Amino acid sequence: MRIHLVGVSGAGMGALAALLREAGDDVSGSDAAFESPAGPALEALGVTCMRGYDAAHLEPAPDLVVVGSAIRQDNPEARAAERRGVPRASMSGALRERFLARRRPLVVAGTHGKTTTSAMCAWILWRAGREPGWFIGGVPEGLAVSAAIGSTRVRPDRGRAPFVVEGGGSDSVYWHKQPEFLDYVGVGADDIAIVTRVEPDRVDIAPNARSCEDALRALVRAVPPGGLVVCDAHDARARAIVAAESRAPVAWHSLERDDTGDVTPTWLGAPAAPLADGSQTFDLYAGGVACGRFATQVPGLHGVRSAIAALAACAQGLGVDVRDARAHLASFAGVRAAGLPVRPC
């Protein structure tokens, strides 16, 4: 397919461009500027970069125009695509249709820790041989790129391969005013969602606590009964939303001595002393059974919370052996600063 991306220099749109190129599509994109590192990275991917916005960029007409969330309705290319009847999609809609439809989505949403938790999930699944795809706001150390297709195989023993998505809360596109993460759930009968914390962290996306909560309520409701919701039980808002809205089983997690209200966590971490190299250690209990001592190179208690959420999703949701996951987690080296993937096609 010939696909044109309007606003291609953004981290999410650039990552989508990488997936489309990996899938074999002919990709072009326009933006106001192509400064380093975005411009050189896109060119290395084989994306035709067009400076500025001009309706002429849609000649000859592409098979699909993907419009970024930052693009306004009066954008010349967006207007031309609508006027000429060229098929359009948002970034999240294109990701759903092209890459999630044949996978098992694992969506990480909420505020604080999304990138780290998503990257941990992708790393554990990749090291466990699950051939995951991923779409993350940063580049996990050891994986080289922020987005990858993964396998499209359906294995008799494991079903569809997982696809890890960091779910942003911005509106997907001007004609579809809902958080983009809602496009990532309800794809199949067994989707997985991780809810971290619930509080507004960007006023342009969620100007108040109520709008943030409403968006996450919709996300939790959209997870099918055959899926799984993973929730940090120490966050009172997240706990209330998930308890009230989830149709799917819930994997509650927390740290020892957290106030978890009337919820008894299935996954419990007891922080221990850091190692000499700075790694944070913790003892993990699953359903009251001791799973041993774990370590993460991500420092502090927030790193432990992300680690337990990732372990719960990968083990309870996708069947990764907890003992194997322990070794994989210990080798996770964190996330580099957000940026575009640079793997040439």
Residues 6+ apart with CB under 8 A from 93: 172, 173, 176, 183
177: pLDDT confidence band, cut at 50, 70 and 90? confident
In tens, the pLDDT along 198-210 reads 875 443 444 455 7
60 lies in the same domain as 104: no
Residues 6+ apart with CB under 8 A from 186: 222, 223, 224
Mean pLDDT, the chain, integer: 91
Q: Which helix (H) or strand (E) holds 133?
A: strand 133-135
Last residue of a domain, one of 86, 109, 133: 86
Report the pLDDT averaged over residues 135-148. Answer: 86
Angstrom distance (rounded) from CA 28 to CA 53: 12
**Domain that includes residue 276, residue range:** 95-336
Note whether residue 343 is domain-resident.
no
158 lies in the same domain as 198: yes
343: pLDDT confidence band, cut at 50, 70 and 90? very low
41 lies in the same domain as 112: no
The reported pTM is 0.92
Report the pLDDT averaged over residues 101-110. Answer: 94
Report the pLDDT averaged over residues 126-136. Answer: 96
At residue 159, the pLDDT reads 87
Query: Which CATH number belongs to the domain containing residue 113 in this structure?
Result: 3.40.1190.10
219 lies in the same domain as 183: yes
Q: Minimum mean pLDDT among 81-85, 94-98, 108-112, 231-235: which range? A: 108-112
Bigger pLDDT: 125 vs 200: 125
Angstrom distance (rounded) from CA 312 to CA 254: 11
113: pLDDT confidence band, cut at 50, 70 and 90? confident
148 lies in the same domain as 208: yes
At residue 205, the pLDDT reads 43
Count how many domains the chain has: 2
At residue 171, the pLDDT reads 74
